[in-house]
Amino acid sequence: MARPLTPPTQRAGRVVDTSGRPVPYAIVVIVSGSVPMPEIALRTDADGRFGLRLPPGIFTLRAHGPDGSGDTAVEAGTAGDEIVITITPQTVAEGE
Amino acid sequence: MFGFGQETAEKMNQLKSVTNPRSPSEALETAPVRPAVTPGSAGTASGEISRSVRFLTGKGRSGPLLPPFESVIGRDERVRIVDTDLAPWRMICSLQMRGPSGSGAIGTGWLVGPRTVLTAGHCVFSTSFFGGWAATIDVIPGRNGAGPPAESEPFGRVTGTRFSSVDRWQSDEDPDFDIGCIHLDEPIGETVGWFPLGVRTAEQLEGFQVNVSGYPGDRGNGTAQFHGRNRIAQVTDRRVFYEVDTFGGQSGAPVWIYEDDDTTRPLAVAVHAYGTGGTPASLGITANSAPRITPEVLTLITAWVAQDGGWPGH
């Protein structure tokens, strides 16, 4: 359960709506992953941007904005493309 | 001797405190004195009993094990707390963290002394989210929604820049040691009160209902307090596992019990930190989890509170 030997890689991300407009101050959470990740939530800046370092593995990131939510899968381990999470109206997960 | 298993017993007194560079004190050695329970306080604000405590919280060992939930999957059993100006809800704080690069994050913390806020280690130190120590953390006790601060922040907000965590968290980011604290200059605990902390063995915790209340990001955008409860599912040497619905942003929330059905005195036994993904597959359960208040963790926390001036009369 200790920190992986391979260092985490820095990834930049952005939360947008279905028109591609940035969603400021959205919440971004790692909802699942191949390694334990704590229940902290990131908040995007005024331009909808966020950043994090991920250890090697596969993760699902979810963004919540005022009008809905959206998920995206991320494979971490090497420097990759910008993570883009698109918020879709009324796609709140079951039970939320 | 404390019923915490061989591994834990062997590591007694091996945990050390680590602090961020802004903190004036360096690593504290754990002292051998281990009180079983720390003093709590209801604070000097209103002494009115919260109706939410009577109707929502799980007490004692009564009640069935509710259907399992993942972090937020299936039916969402969380209930919003609206009387956050009353104890114990007002002791629970919305946290707004900022990393050295300006990155933002949210979490939950809770008063354990007049000037000490306990939280998860990753809320103050995280390679993934801050690249190390957080830079600043805004602490908002009893936050109640996104309205004007005069209404939604009944006790205002203070900013902390001095943090501590456990050496094993800083070096390994091991979920078993994911505990940290915020040292405040202002004694906001005198007003809102603070939780008592209790060391309880696995056998003593068995069957208890646990309560978890914090500020999730998916409900109220991290500004509203939500509570959930359920019976403890399993206890290991270092962590307690429970099927209580939680979500990102609730990291650092208190996990507390009521030791009998009639009491309104909470007893905090762990610090919520992980969703279902943090539960070892070997346990064969779907549950969220929290590092426990073990004897040596309690000793560290006692040292952190002492660093901030201590508990009145102690």
What is the pLDDT at residue A57? 87
B199-211: per-residue pLDDT in tens? 999 999 988 999 9
Between residues A79 and B92, the one the model is more confident about: B92
Q: Is B8 within 8 Å of B292 (Cβ atoms)?
A: no
Instruction: Compare CB distances from B251 to A8, A40, A45 and report the shortest one's residue.
Output: A40
User: What is the overall mean pLDDT for chain A?
Assistant: 86
Domains of chain A (ranges; CATH) run: 9-89 (2.60.40.1120)
Region for B249 from its dihedrals, namely left if φ exceeds 0, alpha if ψ lies in -120 to 50, beta otherwise:
left
pLDDT at position A4 is 56
Query: Looking up tokens 């507390």, which residue turns up?
Result: B256
Q: What is the mean pLDDT of residues A27-48?
A: 92
Q: For position B3, what pLDDT does the model report?
A: 52
Mapped to the 3 state alphabet, what secondary structure does chain A carry? CCCCCCCCEEEEEEEEECCCCECCCCEEEEEEECCCCECCEEECCCCCEEEEEECCEEEEEEEEECCEEEEEEEEECCCCCCEEEEEEECCCCCCC
Q: Which residues of B160-190 are buried (b: 16+ CB within 10 A; e: fewer)?
A: bbbbbbbebbbeebbbbbbbbbbbbeebbbb
* Element containing residue B260 per DSSP (H, E): none
Angle at the Cα of B71 from the Cα atoms of B69 and B77, rounded to 5 degrees: 55
Total CB pairs under 8 A between chain A and B: 128
Distance CA B245, CA B226 (A): 10
Question: Region B135-157: what's the mean pLDDT?
Answer: 96
Stretch B153-168: mean pLDDT, rounded? Answer: 97
Return d(Cα B117, Cα B186) in angstroms, integer.
11
Report the amino acid identity of residue A54. Answer: L
pLDDT per position as a tens digit, B51-74: 888 888 888 886 655 544 335 545
Check whether B228 has a pLDDT greater than 50: yes
Question: Nearest CA to CA, how far is B77 from chain A (Å)?
Answer: 9
Looking at B197-303, which runs of residues are DSSP E strands?
209-214, 226-235, 239-242, 254-257, 267-271, 288-291
Model ipTM value: 0.87
Termini Cα distance of chain A: 30
Q: Is B314 a catalytic residue?
A: no
Which tokens hold the place of B109?
A: 């913390």
Is B122 among the residues known to form the active site?
yes
Terminal CA-CA length for chain B: 26
Encoding tokens for residue B75?
């039916």
Nearest-angstrom CA–CA distance, B222 and B224: 6
Domains of chain B: 36-42+50-305 (2.40.10.10)
Residue B51's pLDDT is 83
Of B97 and B206, the structure prediction assigns the larger pLDDT to B97
Q: How do residues B118-128 score in pLDDT, each as one tens digit?
A: 999 999 999 99
- DSSP percent split of chain B into helix, strand, coil, nearest 5: 20, 30, 50
For residues A40-63, one letter each, b for 16 or more C-beta atoms within 10 angstroms of the residue's C-beta and e for the rest, the string is bbbbbbeebebbbbbbbbebebbb
Which residue from B73, B128, B178 is facing A53, i.e. has the nearest CB? B128
Query: What confidence score (pLDDT) does residue A95 get?
Result: 46
Q: Which of B35, B214, B49 is nearest to B119 (CA)?
A: B214
Q: Which of B128, B212, B236 should we substitute to test contact with A (largest number of A Cβ atoms within 10 Å)?
A: B128
Give, for B258, the enclosing helix (H) or strand (E): none
Q: Which residues of chain A lie closer than 8 angstroms to B250, CB-CB? A: 39
- A78 vs A89: CA distance, rounded Å: 32
Catalytic position from the list B41, B52, B122, B126: B122
For residue B149, pLDDT over 60 is answered with yes
Q: What is the pLDDT of residue B63?
A: 60
Q: What is the pLDDT of residues A42-71, one digit of tens each?
A: 999 999 999 999 888 889 999 999 889 999
Scan residues 16-55 of A and list those with Cβ closer than 8 Å to B: 25, 27, 29-33, 36-45, 50-55
Q: Which residues are within 8 A (CB) of B262 and not within 5 positions of it... i.e. 6 or more apart?
A: none
B173 neighbors B122 (Cβ within 8 angstroms): yes
